[in-house]
Structure 1
Amino acid sequence: MKQNKYDDPVFFTNYSQMARSVGGLEAAGEWPAFRAMLPELRDQRVLDLGCGFGWHCRYARERQARSVIGVDLSENMLARARASTDDSAIEYRQMAIEDIDFAGEQFDVVISSLTLHYIERFDAVCQKIHHYLVPGGAFVFSVEHPIFTALAAQDWIYGSQGERLHWPVDDYQSEGPRQARFLDNDVVKYHRTVATHINVLLDSGFGITRLSEPQPPQYMLDTVPGMQDELRRPMFLIIAATKLP
């Protein structure tokens, strides 16, 4: 199932007003952990799946990547990315992640930020990425944490005064689609356990190099209302893997 909510004008306007849409990578709570798990990017050929506004593409070039291809399904996202990019070494292509088609061993690094939980066939995408990477190439991606995606509601249990009592986890082992609400729209996300993420990567020929369930950085904990509650359950899962020889 290929979803493109971002070309809906109202949805795109709401998304564009989110803190991470305005402030970029430094406004994304998981970014410090994601950045720390990236390999050396100097002189590397990078593929960014679900590139959005192109923040990660431009970061890769700041780290002196040789070339970057950013892929996204949304025309609106890519228009914003192109308008924010003045660099001939970055190329943006409009296509669904499920439809990517590149040459074998074309890339040294593949990254994806918060997109793969929208993809039904994670295994098929991993197999493609494995083919496109050189031996020893890196695959680093973030998804919404399975504790976060297990229930479609994706919300706290509240007390009588509106206080956040706890985060519910149910149906964790029941993998598959969840119809969630995001920016007042119905979106379909695909819930997979942590074990499934790891085992699919292993079955696809990757070695796992690092996992992260990141906490928000201290400056966000100190300044963003409600951010302290993000210490009570993980919202993101970040995995770094390497294509085995």
Structure 2
Amino acid sequence: MKEKVVTAYDKLAKDYEKHVDTESGHNAYYERQAMMKLMPNDMNSLTVLDAGCAAGWYTEQFLKRGAQVTAIDLSPAMVEACKRRVGYEAEVFACDLTEPLPFKNETFNLIVSSLTLHYIDDWAPTFQEFHRILKPGGQVIFSVHHPFMDFKHFERPDYFAHELLMETWNKKESGPVEVTFYRRPLQEILNVTSDQFIIDQIIEPQPDLAFKDKPHAMDWYKRWYDRLSTNPHFLIVKARK
């Protein structure tokens, strides 16, 4: 599975670097807007881990708010894209979230993981490591595929199954790319999280019309606003140690 994820996201790295910020509405105008509402405006005193940094959009936002940021990703090509974006302002390197993390106990005030954890089969070891490296009172905020969306979109026969799915993304730079990920029911997401953390908020994002006039956004809103207003696509969890 790791090899499949690396292969896919190495191929997708140029698309994330060049196009996702403006042309992928599900990222730029939906998930990111909901996630950033949960972040403090002033992050000057915070150490932050961007766990699954991709091409570095979140890394850059945290730096702009004054945080000391470490960014990690399984894909070497994504790591290089993130480095091109933020230069030496953040520590950026390849790292596997399913393995013991190379950080001391109680290193971070905040761990943010955007649309990454559904590529991991067993969350328990990862969340144990997140708990270990978070400072007391530290927060973890993550987004994943909404289990309802996966169940409905892929027409699965058993909502309660924990299973591997695949779809093909066709992007400008990469062409067709096979992407594999895991789906799991809501109770599993919440129970595994609450084994290590206190859950503060569950967010099922809806698109915000305040962003519809941004460049490139109007066509996406026309296609997706009604659907995402009534059918959640992602799920966000905010929890604390």
Q: Does 1:174 align with 2:161?
A: yes
Q: Distance in 1 between matches of 2:233 and 2:123?
A: 19
Q: Does 1:213 align with 2:204?
A: yes
Aligned to 2:142: 141
Amino acid at match of 1:63: R
Q: Does 1:240 align with 2:231?
A: no
Secondary structure, aligned partner of 2:178: strand
Q: Distance in 1 between matches of 2:22 and 2:95?
A: 21
Query: Retained in 1: the 8 A contact 2:106–2:135?
Result: yes
Aligned to 1:186: 178
Q: Which has the higher contact order (CA 8 A, sep 6+)?
A: 2
Aligned to 2:92: 92
Q: Distance in 1 between matches of 2:79 and 2:21?
A: 16
Aligned to 1:203: 195
Residue by residue, what CA displacement relative to the aligned partner does 1:15-59 show, whole Å, maximum 9, x if unpaired? 555443668998241222111122452211110111011111111
Query: Retained in 1: the 8 A contact 2:59–2:86?
Result: no
Number of matched pairs:
224
Q: Distance in 1 between matches of 2:147 and 2:169?
A: 17
Q: Distance in 2 between matches of 1:227 and 1:94?
A: 34
Aligned positions of 1:58-77 closer than 5 A: 58-65=60-67, 67-77=68-78
Residue by residue, what CA displacement relative to the aligned partner does 1:84-130 show, whole Å, maximum 9, x if unpaired? 11443x11011222133321101110000001101111111111100
Query: Retained in 2: the 8 A contact 1:15–1:21?
Result: no
Runs of 5+ consecutive residues of structure 2 not aligned to the other structure: 171-175
Aligned to 2:34: 33
Secondary structure, aligned partner of 2:110: strand
Query: Retained in 1: the 8 A contact 2:13–2:81?
Result: no
Secondary structure, aligned partner of 1:120: coil
Query: Retained in 2: the 8 A contact 1:114–1:143?
Result: yes
Secondary structure, aligned partner of 2:165: strand
* Overall identity of the aligned pairs, in %: 30
Q: Distance in 1 between matches of 2:48 and 2:149?
A: 29
- Root-mean-square deviation (CA, aligned residues, Å) is 2.5
Residue by residue, what CA displacement relative to the aligned partner does 1:59-97 show, whole Å, maximum 9, x if unpaired? 1111111x2110012222122211111443x11011222
Alpha-carbon deviation of 1:185? 2.7
Classify 1:176/1:192 alpha carbon distance in 2 versus 1 (closer, same or farther; 3 Å): same
Q: Distance in 2 between matches of 1:187 and 1:23?
A: 16
Q: Distance in 2 between matches of 1:138 and 1:73?
A: 22
Question: Which shows bigger deviation, 68-77 or 213-222?
Answer: 213-222
Runs of 5+ consecutive residues of structure 1 not aligned to the other structure: 156-167
Aligned mate of 1:7, from 10, 17, 42:
10
Secondary structure, aligned partner of 1:7: helix
Query: Retained in 2: the 8 A contact 1:37–1:210?
Result: no
Q: Distance in 2 between matches of 1:144 and 1:94?
A: 23
Query: Retained in 1: the 8 A contact 2:20–2:27?
Result: no
Q: Distance in 2 between matches of 1:21 and 1:123?
A: 34
Q: Distance in 1 between matches of 2:87 and 2:180?
A: 34
Secondary structure, aligned partner of 2:187: helix
Secondary structure, aligned partner of 1:105: coil
Q: Distance in 2 between matches of 1:12 and 1:38?
A: 25
Q: TM-score, normalised by structure 1?
A: 0.82
